[in-house]
Chains A and B, each alone.
Chain A
C-alpha cells in the first residue's frame, strides 16, 4: 500500500532504546499493587527489544482499566471505544502495514462487548499482537461479573453468585484459529517478558492472556496459581520439546489416559517419564492446545507459557498501485460513448 509512512525520513539504524524511551509523560494511574503495572513493564521491555523505531509502534485499546495503557506508552496510541480496538487496529494495520500494532484489551472489553471482533481478529491472522488483561472482573465500572468470572463468583452485579458459566479466553482464540496463543501470570516478570517478546516476533496474530490481580475488586482470585508456595503444584510451565512436568520437584506429569489428560506421579502406578506429554507448540492439530487451554478446572495444573505457535497465512489486503491513466479508465468503464465538439456521437467500445 502506498500510504506515506515517512519511512524515508527515518534513520537507517534503529536507535538503541531504554524502557524510559517508551514511557510517556503521563504517570500511570492504576491502583497501587495492580497487575497492570507489571504487564505494562513487560510490554515496554518487549518494545525495547523489538529493534524497531519507536514511531512505528501503535498501541490500540478499548475501554477498561487496562485500556488506559496507550496514554502511558510513548508511542502512537489510540484509546478507542468499548470492545472495538481490534477493528481500529485492523484498519490501521491495513492502511499502514509497516506499523507494529498492539491491541490492549481486557476480559470485559475483549470477550464480552468486543467478542465478535476478538474472534474475527484471531481468524484473520493479521500481524497484530493482542494482550488480554484477564482479571475476571469489571474494574473500571467497579466490580461486575465478567465473562471470565467463575460460576458462583460474588460480584456487585451478582451478590448471590454468578449464574453464568465462564469462558476460557484461549479456547475462544484457538477456536477462531489463533496462530500464537500464550498465558502468563502478572507475578512472573521474566516469563512475561519472554512470552511477550516471542509474541512480538511472531508472524501473524498473537494473543497473550495475562492473569491480572485486581487488588480492589477481585483481590487474590489467582492467588493459588501465582504465589510462590502453591504455584509449582497448581501450574505447569510449557516449554517446547520438554515434558509437561510440574510440582516443586517436577515429579508429576500430564499423561494421556483413556484419551484424557491426567496427572500422574512419575514412578507411581507404573507412570513413566516417557509417558509424559512432550510440549509441542507447533502441533498442527489445534486440539492439543485446546486441551491445554481447558486445563485448570479440576486437579489439572494451569499451563503458563506458549500454548501454540504456528505459521499460517497472514492477513494481507489486495493492494495495487494504480496510476492516473488507469483510474480514468476505471471511471469510464467498458461501456462508453464520446461526444465531440460538433456534437457527433461515437461509441468507444471495441
Chain B
C-alpha cells in the first residue's frame, strides 16, 4: 500500500480525499479540449495516479462550431487505485459552450461540479445548441450541481490585452485557462504543463507568454473563485505499481507496438497492408512512423490491403492487415485464401457499430460471428479479442505468435472504444515477452509443402528465394501432404478436417481462465473484449459489498478456452454482457450447451458500471 497521499500545495481552501473521479471535457473541435486532457493526464501520471481515458470525436470532420454535433469530448477517470474504465457519470464537467453543456449535463452525477465558459452563453450559441432560454438562468437545474461560471473568454482577453495578438489568437489560449482551473481543482502540479508549453512554443515567444499567462490565470482563478469552495486529493490505496517504465497508450497504438514487438521476437520484418477506415487507421498511422521496424503499404483498397499482406507472408514477413467492419467484409475472400494456403497472417478488426457504414465512430462488439463464420466454405480461423487498450499490445503479440506457430491466419478483434481509449501501460522490456523465432524450411530433401508438424499441424514455411523448394500455392484445394491441386472428394473432406483440427490445436496454448471476485460466488460474469474494465469494476464494487459474484474474461474466442465449459458449470448462473445482440451467448448455447443470461447493448457506447451492477443485483436477488 502506498501511503503518500500526494498533496501538491496546501492552498487556502479545504481539500477532500476521494478514491477516484470522472472528468469530462466538452467543447468545439477547435477548443483544444483534447490537449487539456492530454496535459492533465500526463500530470496525473507523474503523480502516480491511475487513469483511463476516452476521446470522443464528432463524426463530422469540421462540424459547424457551436452545434450539438460539433461537440468533441475527452473523458478520463483518475484514481488512487487501479482504474478499469474511463468512467460513467461525470464528477466534473468542463463545458466550453452551450452545446457541450447540453450534450453532457445529463451524464453529470448529482452533486457534480460543472464548470462553464460563461462568455460562450450568448444568444447565437444558445440557439445553435437548441436552447430556447439560457440554461444558466434556470436556478432549479443548478440546485443539483456545483455550478462554476468562468468568464473564460473575457478573462483571457483581459490577461492578454497588452500582447500583440489578434483576438482570434488570444481566444485560442483559453483552453489553458481551463487547464489551470482543472489542475487547481484536483490539486495537481502545474510544473509539467509549464515545461510542456515552454518547449512547445520555444520559438514563438508571444504565444508562449500568452498561453503561460492564461494558464496562471486559470490556477489563480481556482484560488479566488468563491464557487470553488474546495478541491480534491486522491486517496492512494492501490498496490504500488511494478517497477518499470510507464506511458499512456491507446489501443490502436498498442496494437501497432505489439506487432513491432512480435516482429522482433520472431526475427521477421513486419509488413502492414492497410487502407484508411475509422476507427482502425491509427494503427497504420502509428506503424508508418517507424520504417526501421515496419514496412507499411497503404493499398488502393481493403482487398489490396490484405492481398499485399498475404503476398508478404508468402515472402517471409510477419504480415498483418488492419480494418473495421466494412473492410473486414471486403477482406473475407482473401482471408479464405490465407486459410487455404495456410500462411501466417494477423487480421485486426477494430469493430464499430454496423451493419453497413453504421456509426463509424461508435463502438460495438458485433463482428464476432463474422470473424467466426463470415466466409464461404468451411473456413475455421483463430479468433482472439483484446480487452483493454494496453491489452491490444499483448493480444497483437499473441496473435502473431499463434499465426507463426500454427501457420494460420489469426483474427484479432479490437473495438473503437479500445482503439481510441487509452490507459497507463507499463512498457515491457523486450526480453519479458515470449520469444518465437520463425523457422523457414531450407532443406529440399523430401520437401512437401503440406506436410504437417504433428504437434501443431503447421505446414513448412518455404519462402521464395530458397533453392530447391520451388512450389506453388493457391486457392484450389490441396492434396494432403504434397500440396498439389486436388479435386478428389475424400481428400477434400480430409483437408477440411485437418484445417479445423489445426485451429482446434491452438487450445493447447490457451492459459487457464482466471476468476476474480467473491470466493463463494454463485454468479459468474463472463466477458470478452472491451467489456473487461466495466465488468471488473462492477464485480469489484459488488463483491466488496458481499454480493456473491465473480467474473472471468476470455481472450480466445476460437478455439474457446478448454476450461471454459467446466468453469461455467461451477456457477449457478452466468451473466454474459455483450455490445451486440448475444453473439457469444449464441455460441455458448450451440457449442457448450450452456445457457447464459444475456445483457446486451447496442447504443454505440460501452456499458456503464451501474448497468452491469443492476443486472447482477437482479440476478442474485435481494442482498
Contacts and interface: CB of A to CB of B under 8 A. Distances in A.
B247 to A, nearest CB: 5
**Range of interface residues on chain B?**
35 or more
A63 B474 CA distance: 10
Interface string A42-73: 00000000000111111010010000001100
Interface in B442-473: 442, 463-473
Contact of B475 (A6, A81, A90, A341): A81
Nearest to A75: B470
B269 interface: yes
A317 B241 contact: no
B472 A70 contact: yes
A332 B310 CA distance: 30
B48 A327 contact: no
A91 B310 contact: yes
Contacts of B245: 332, 336-338, 348
Interface string A324-350: 101110111101111111010101110
Contacts of A335: 42, 247-248
Given A55-B470, A77-B471, A320-B292, A92 B315 contact: yes
A95 B317 contact: yes
Given A3-B317, A84-B334, A345-B46, A317 B295 contact: yes
B260 interface: yes
A56 B463 CA distance: 10
Contacts of A283: none
A4 B315 CA distance: 9
B467 A58 contact: no
Nearest to A332: B427
A5 interface: yes
A327 B315 contact: no
B476 A79 contact: yes
Contacts of B261: 327, 331
B565 to A, nearest CB: 37
Interface in B296-349: 296-297, 299-301, 303-304, 306-317, 319, 333-334, 337, 341
Contact of A80 (B195, B293, B307, B430): B307
B465 A87 contact: no
A122 to B, nearest CB: 11
Interface residues of A, number: 72
A258 interface: no
Nearest to B308: A91
Main secondary structure of the interface of A (DSSP, over half): mixed
B369 interface: no
A32 interface: no
A230 interface: no
Given A9-B467, A54-B470, A77-B473, A91 B316 contact: no
Contacts of A338: 243-246
A315 to B, nearest CB: 10
A74 B472 CA distance: 8
B315 A84 contact: no
Nearest to A74: B470
A332 B427 CA distance: 6
Nearest to A90: B308
A102 B393 CA distance: 37
Contacts of B429: 328
Contact of A1 (B295, B310, B471): B295
Given A91-B271, A326-B292, A79 B314 contact: no
A338 B427 CA distance: 10
Find the residue from B192, B293, B306 having the highest chain A CB count within 10 A: B293
A21 B317 CA distance: 28
B240 A120 contact: no
Contacts of B571: none
B19 interface: no
Nearest to A79: B474
A84 B304 contact: yes
Contacts, number: 253
A328 to B, nearest CB: 6
A82 to B, nearest CB: 8
A10 interface: yes
Contacts of A60: 311
B46 A337 contact: yes
B314 A88 contact: yes
A157 interface: no
A3 B315 contact: yes
A327 B312 contact: no
Main secondary structure of the interface of B (DSSP, over half): mixed
A188 interface: no
Contact of A94 (B290, B308, B341, B468): B308
A76 to B, nearest CB: 4
A122 B474 CA distance: 24
B465 A98 contact: yes
Contacts of B222: none
Interface in A68-126: 70-71, 74-81, 84, 86-96, 98-99, 116-117, 120
Nearest to A54: B470
A318 B291 contact: yes
B311 A319 contact: no
Contacts of B469: 55
Nearest to A100: B464
B2 interface: yes
A80 B247 contact: no
Contacts of B8: none
Nearest to B467: A55
Contacts of B476: 79
A343 B241 contact: yes
A79 B247 CA distance: 45
B311 A87 contact: yes
A94 B271 contact: yes
A331 B309 CA distance: 23
Interface string B270-302: 010100000000000000001111011101110
Interface string A1-23: 11111110110000000000000
Contacts of B241: 339, 343
B472 A77 contact: yes
Contact of B465 (A56, A90, A94): A56
B268 interface: yes
B171 interface: no
Contacts of A285: none
A89 B307 CA distance: 8
A24 interface: yes
A321 interface: yes
B130 to A, nearest CB: 38
B465 to A, nearest CB: 4
A51 to B, nearest CB: 16
A160 B291 CA distance: 55
Nearest to B3: A343
Nearest to B476: A79
Contacts of B48: 339, 343, 345
Nearest to B484: A26
Nearest to B307: A87
A55 B246 contact: no
Interface of A: 1-7, 9-10, 24, 26, 53-58, 60, 63, 70-71, 74-81, 84, 86-96, 98-99, 116-117, 120, 317-322, 324, 326-328, 330-333, 335-341, 343, 345, 347-349
16 contacts: A55-B465, A55-B466, A55-B467, A55-B469, A86-B304, A90-B304, A91-B308, A94-B297, A99-B315, A117-B307, A120-B300, A327-B292, A330-B290, A332-B245, A333-B249, A348-B245
Which 4 residue pairs are nearest across A and B when measured between Cβ atoms?
Answer: A87-B307, A91-B311, A79-B474, A322-B292
Given A5-B465, A95-B271, 4 more contacts: A99-B315, A120-B304, A328-B429, A331-B261
